[in-house]
Amino acid sequence: MIADRTAQISGSDVLLFCTLRNELVRLPYFLKYYRTLGIRHFLFVDNGSDDGSLEYLAKQPDVSVWRTDKSYKRARFGMDWMNWLLRKYAHGHWALTVDVDEFFIFPFCDTRSISALTDWLDASSIRSFAAMLLDMYPKGRIDAETYREGQNPFDIANWFDSGNYMISQNPKFKNLWIQGGPRARAFFADNPARAPALNKIPLVRWDRSFTYVSSTHNLLPRGLNLVYDEWGGEKASGCLLHAKFLNTFAQKSEEELQRRQHYANSHEYRAYNKRLRENPEFWCSWSEKYINWRQLEILGIMSKGNWA
């Protein structure tokens, strides 16, 4: 424990939970983005950063940060840490669990705060909210432009794949399993089963009896995973814009490959590394340029459901 400001948390605050390692360059914009969205308190686990991330976070007035040098992999890719913090601090709160390169958007997020959303979810007796991971990438080589501290990453990575997502149902946990997007297209065309999961349920009205199972892809109890309608209707859903594919990515994937701390023997990072050396470009003529949440709504990537 480095900085504990959890005493500031008050009854109806929406809380953000995040694990990170060496992400200093991303933090200023990340915090700014989520403060604007209406997050009242941030709870971080720093997994052995040596670039000053920890010190930076400890200085923030609305941040509590814990430090661990233990294995990310052994902690089930950080989820054990997150579940522990959630159980301890999120009970009775709406909790948003994201990575430092994930930016939550939801219907009307340009005009309504996150508490408008959570109030509405409360009124509708909804406990969990889906936000699929949407991989964003630049036009041209992903290392062409350097991301600077404080910059909106989507000034650089502002393209995405609009309609190549494959969905099936996970019979065990009842969650949807979504794969596809630029990573499946560029990295996993020969091995689709290995393509990373994009389904996420990052926003939950937490109860201490809840637990994330595998990343924020699914939870227990299983009812929390039923964020989709099976009778033709659309439930409200959002997106996590994924700012992973910036110039920082090549460096990061090299580092992660050496640390061997990632899921499925870091298979994903191996695939990236190989491909990145050849041609680090996702953009194609069918790529869609990001405008706003309404565009994603029209494209059918997220939905307003019955929120109007």
How far is 68 from 72, CA to CA, in rounded Å? 9
Q: Tell me how far, at minimum, the Cβ of 118 lies from other proteins, in Å.
A: 11
**By the rule CB under 8 A, 220 interacts with other proteins:** no
How far is 52 from 46, CA to CA, in rounded Å? 11
* Residue 1 or 123 having the CB closest to other proteins: 123
* Member of 5, 112, 141, 270 binding other proteins (CB under 8 A): 112
Q: Which residues pair with 166 in a beta bridge?
A: 179
Radius of gyration, alpha carbons of the chain: 18
Dihedral in degrees, nearest 10, Cα atoms 6, 8, 10, 15: -50
How far is 44 from 24, CA to CA, in rounded Å? 13
* Residue 26 or 183 having the CB closest to other proteins: 183
Nearest to 160 by CA among 183, 141, 144, 143: 183
Residues 269-288 that bind other proteins (CB under 8 A): 284-288
* Member of 82, 121, 132, 157 binding other proteins (CB under 8 A): 132
**By the rule CB under 8 A, 219 interacts with other proteins:** no
* Member of 96, 184, 271, 276 binding other proteins (CB under 8 A): 184
* Residue 52 or 233 having the CB closest to other proteins: 233
Stretch that binds other proteins, among 3-11, 18-26, 114-122, 143-151 (CB under 8 A): 114-122
CB neighbours of residue 291 within 10 Å = 10
Nearest to 47 by CA among 256, 232, 307: 256
How far is 58 from 3, CA to CA, in rounded Å? 5
Stretch that binds other proteins, among 40-48, 67-75, 123-131, 214-222 (CB under 8 A): 123-131
Q: Tell me how far, at minimum, the Cβ of 4 lies from other proteins, in Å.
A: 29
280 φ, ψ (degrees, to nearest 5): -80, 65
Q: Tell me how far, at minimum, the Cβ of 202 lies from other proteins, in Å.
A: 12
Q: Tell me how far, at minimum, the Cβ of 281 lies from other proteins, in Å.
A: 12
Tokens of 97: 């669990």
Stretch that binds other proteins, among 86-94, 139-147, 157-165, 268-276 (CB under 8 A): 157-165
Pairing of strands 165-169, 41-47: unpaired
User: Could you list the residues that contact other proteins (CB under 8 A)?
Assistant: 108, 111-113, 115-116, 119-120, 123-124, 130, 132, 161-169, 176, 178, 180-182, 184-185, 188-193, 199, 227-237, 284-288, 300-308
